[in-house]
Structure 1
Amino acid sequence: MRSKVPTPLTGTRAGATLVLVGVVLFLSSLLVGAALAPSVGGADDGEARRTLVGSQGGGPGLHEAGSVYLLDGRQTEWRAGETDSYFDVTMLENGSVMAGFMDSGYEECGPYESPCTHTGFRIIEPNADSGAGPEVVSEYSFPVRTRANSEVHDVERLDSGEFLVTDMEYERIFTVEDGEITWQWNASERYDAPADPTRTDWLHINDVDVISEDRYLVSVRNAHQLVIVERGEGVVEVINADDGRTDGGSPNPKGDPTVLRQQHNPQWLGNGTVLVADSHNDRIVELRRNESGSWNVAWAVDRAEGVPFSWPRDADRLPNGNTLVTDSLNKRVVEINRTGATVWSYATPQVPYEAERLPAGETVGGVAYADGGETTVDERRNLPVLSFLLLLLQTGLQTPFWFTEAHVAVALVSLGFVLGGSGIALRGRLRG
């Protein structure tokens, strides 16, 4: 009895079947994910709320369609756009809005080729009463080498009339008045700098807040640290101090990434407590200074509306005692209470960077949940490779909030079926 020899036609059919299995498997995972996804962005307890949002936007690298807008409840009262990205936003006492931004197409480029990208801050007049629409009435900006990791993410107005600015291009904070720099602190005073910080994402200083007249809380993202800088003194305290870790060939020790990992937008609550969007740990934490002077996690939350946070980049403790969270890659702004229950939420059209609840905005000082005793949260455990791939997909393609590491795993398996089947089918055709 002769055994059957596979024919080219059989190989082609087998390959096509594997391709079909791969496609069906991936599409099925998407359909199931969408069908089982919880509802987000619809919570509302009926309280009147006005929320100012700075949106980084969308597109590759999140550098398209940036905007600033004001929400009355969940209705958009006004929107200012036509800019690559907006970041930190603050409503000033006169009703104008101050916003960090990044935009391309400038001709004044200093050492860089024209056209180039500028970053800095703008003052926007909403013109809500006149109906004329938002208008940029002034701007302070300077050219940067690239659009990525060189932006001004934060600006604060000081009582002196100066503007306090973060700068990733040269890794510093500085004050400016009437277009002139009046003071600066360079991170190279504490951290070992590369030969040219404009050519690498060295520290990624992304936030500065005023604690008191001459004391500022600074987020040094890539070091997993917060530092308190005093004018005339330099760094006077480090939150999540060096633990000996280094990476990427940098000589600089970093803080413990289980405490903070590439954080954004800390808020000084007072009494040795700080609220932080612990971005790459996908959670919001309160850090408390203990008797030995070190800082530990005293309270944490990692989800809202049944959905785990994904790259949250702002958390503000509100005067009512709740916490307003900007959950960037889930494209939502959500207000939670001390227990983590959601009382209000809004699904944003693009990726948000920061949100402020009006009229107070982000304050210095606030209710510390840690004062009620330590709280532990059952946090999810991410798989490093899948988490990294998911982050790339979320920032590049803006995948929906329900697209998780499980979908990435299924996508990889499906891709294996498709590539394997295509190879078998191609080999069958060549033999035919």
Structure 2
Amino acid sequence: MERDRLGYALIVAAIAGLALVVAASAATAPSQEVAKENTTATLVGIQGGGLGYHDYGSVQLVDESGQRVWGIANADSYFDVTGLDNGTVMAGFMDSGYTDCGPYESPCTHTGFRILDPNATDPVVFEYSYPVRTMTNSETHDVEQLSSGEFLVSDMDHERIYTVTRNGTITWQWKASSYYDAPEDPTKTDWLHVNDVDYLGSDRFLVSVRNANQLVIVERGEGVVDVVNEDRDPDLLDKQHNPQWLAENAILVADSENDRIVELHRNGSDGEWFVAWGLQAANGLEFEWPRDADRLDNGNTLITDSRNKRVVEVTENGSVVWSTTFEYIPYEAERLPEGETVGGQVYNPAAGNVQLDSAGGIPVLTSLLSLVRAGYPIPFWVSELHLLAVLVGLGMLVGGSGLVLSDRRADEDEADANG
């Protein structure tokens, strides 16, 4: 009987404790929906959710209140998005189910880019794509259209950047293997993860080499002419995404694995890059795997906080002036009509090296929470401590149920013995 009472007490305590933690957290969590007057629409590429984040991809346009104006959900994943002058949208994508598979078994996955018309019955008005071995770490994350009419593309599958015409003719390429020591077949491994390219003018390109923790400047005909983070120091950059060239010697970067946004400046005396400005949280919520940051014309910064499933606009001091959330993981966002520009307001032009604390968290629980958050639309305020409370609560439920069942079996055995 004592085990029975103890078991029920554990079950009640577990349920009550979990309910109290959830209710208190939900009641005290700051809202992540912040509307702003006179904000023009924001275009967002949604990578998706589920295992590998390759389900429920979409392109969405949201207004100043965060309400969806339209959405196109016809690919497993969308990535970089760019609004074009005629109202269409250019977007990097990945999708499965193709039968044109080249060396791979059909059906297969294609990656590349599309031009989408949100007002058309069939929104795909143009597509350039090719088959890849796997949908993981082989995607086209970035594309932009040059004044020549060519498209500039980053290619994680073959670890290169290239330009291609509308009829599919590749007119120029830079292969990372010309600078980095390459494996025999880059398509068989996630080698460098070249995930972004921006044209800087004068035949120069800013390239994000994610797995090397480096940004390189490639000049057509010359190759790599400059490197940010030559020592591959993860304290400066750790698997970054979507750098924006603000000015000579100033770059804004989503420092993804460090869970922060940083503005890097180059030291005039020794040529070393350092963190001149950084941000690790917004509206009371720490960033989790941010993958895009754009310096806007108004001087604010638009941030895509991927695993928190939100896009936020912040001032230089970190105050949130606009924010909205999504059901699945966003990859990149741009404010219309300006888009992502080359050149922008520089923060702290005379500042020294800014020290930012390392991201906190409980390593095992942080990884587990990331997996859960990616696959399911859980509230933004759920943290490692909530996950720990759930695990402890489940343990108490199992333990309490075991005591109750054990006590009942003992009573049944005693009744049988007394016959």
CA distance in 1, matches of 2:216, 2:276: 19
Amino acid at match of 2:317: T
Shift of 1:323: 0.7
1:370 match: secondary structure: coil
Separation in 2, partners of 1:53, 1:164 = 20
Aligned residue for 1:345, secondary structure, equals strand
Q: Is the 8 A contact 1:49 1:357 kept in 2?
A: yes
* 1:145 match: 133
- TM-score normalised by structure 2 residue count: 0.89
Alignment of 1:186-201 (within 5 A): 186-201=175-190
Mapping of residues 76-225 of structure 1, within 5 Å: 76-127=68-119, 132=120, 135-177=123-165, 178-225=167-214
Structure 1 residues 13, 279: closer, same or farther in 2, change over 3 A?
Answer: same
- 1:318–1:324 Cα contact (<8 Å) kept: yes
Counterpart check, 1:346 vs 2:311: no
Q: Report SS of the residue matched to 1:73.
A: coil
Residues 9-34 of structure 1, C-alpha deviations (whole Å, 9 max, x = no match): 65566556545544544443323221
Verify the 8 A CA contact 1:299 1:376 in the aligned structure 2: no
Shift of 1:321: 0.8
Q: Is the 8 A contact 2:302 2:313 kept in 1?
A: yes
Paired with 1:140 and 1:381, the residues of 2 have a C-alpha distance of 42
Larger CA deviation: 290-299 vs 196-205: 196-205
8 Å contact 1:286–1:370 — kept in the other structure?
no
Note the alpha carbon deviations across 1:199-248, whole angstroms, 9 max, x for none: 33222221111112421111111222111122222222221122xxxxxx
Q: CA deviation at 1:134?
A: 6.6
Task: Provide the rounded CA distance (Å) in 1 between the counterparts of 2:390 and 2:311.
Answer: 29
Distance 2:261 2:202 in 1: 27
Cα RMSD, aligned residues only: 2.3
Q: 1:421 to 1:204 in 2, by over 3 A?
A: farther
- Show structure 1 runs of 5+ residues with no match: 1-8, 243-254
Measure, in 1, the Cα distance between the counterparts of 2:191 and 2:402: 43
Q: How many angstroms apart in 1 are the aligned matches of 2:54 and 2:213?
A: 24
Partner of residue 241 from structure 2, selected from 231, 246, 264:
264
Asked whether 1:40 is paired with 2:17, we answer no
SS of equivalent residue, structure 2 residue 322: strand
Going from structure 1 to structure 2, the CA distance change for 1:425 and 1:192 (only over 3 Å counts) comes to farther
Contact preservation (8 Å) 2:328, 2:374: no
Report the TM-score, using the length of structure 1 for normalisation: 0.87
Report the Cα distance in structure 2 between the residues aligned to 1:280 and 1:428, rounded to whole angstroms: 50
Q: Distance in 2 between matches of 1:16 and 1:66?
A: 45
In structure 1, distance between residues paired with 2:294 and 2:156: 23
CA 1:230 to 1:266, structure 2 compared with 1: closer, same or farther past 3 Å? same
1:112 counterpart SS class: coil
Structure 2: which amino acid aligns with 1:143? P
Q: How many residues align?
A: 407
Provide the rounded CA distance (Å) in 1 between the counterparts of 2:60 and 2:122: 9
Comparing 178-187 with 72-81, which one deviates more in the overlay? Answer: 72-81
Q: How far off is 1:159 after superposition?
A: 2.1
2:367 maps to which of 363, 371, 388: 388
Query: Is contact 2:287–2:308 with CA below 8 Å preserved after alignment?
Result: yes
Distance 1:168 1:124 in 2: 22
- 2:300–2:314 contact (8 Å) kept in structure 1: yes
Hey, what's the Cα distance between the residues in 2 that align with 1:87 and 1:309?
19
Q: Kindly indicate whether the alpha-carbon contact (under 8 Å) linking 1:166 and 1:174 is maintained by their aligned counterparts in 2.
A: yes
Instruction: State the distance in 1 between where 2:236 and 2:85 align.
Output: 36
Partner of 2:219: 230
CA distance in 2, matches of 1:258, 1:429: 57
State the Cα distance separating 1:133 from its structure 2 match.
Answer: 5.4
Contact kept in structure 1, 2:89 and 2:117, CA below 8 Å: yes
Deviation at 1:157, TM superposition (A): 1.1
Amino acid at match of 1:324: L
CA distance in 2, matches of 1:14, 1:164: 67
Greater RCO (Cα-Cα under 8 Å, separation 6 or more): 1
1:288-340 superposed Cα distances (whole Å, 9 cap, x missing partner): 11121111111001122222112111100011111111111222211111111
Please, which of 61, 67, 72 is the counterpart of residue 70 of structure 1? Answer: 61
**Identical residues among aligned pairs (%):** 58
With 100-109 and 330-339 compared, the bigger mean Cα shift is at 330-339
Is 2:393 the counterpart of 1:406?
no
Once structures 1 and 2 are overlaid, which stretch shifts more, 60-69 or 106-115?
Answer: 60-69
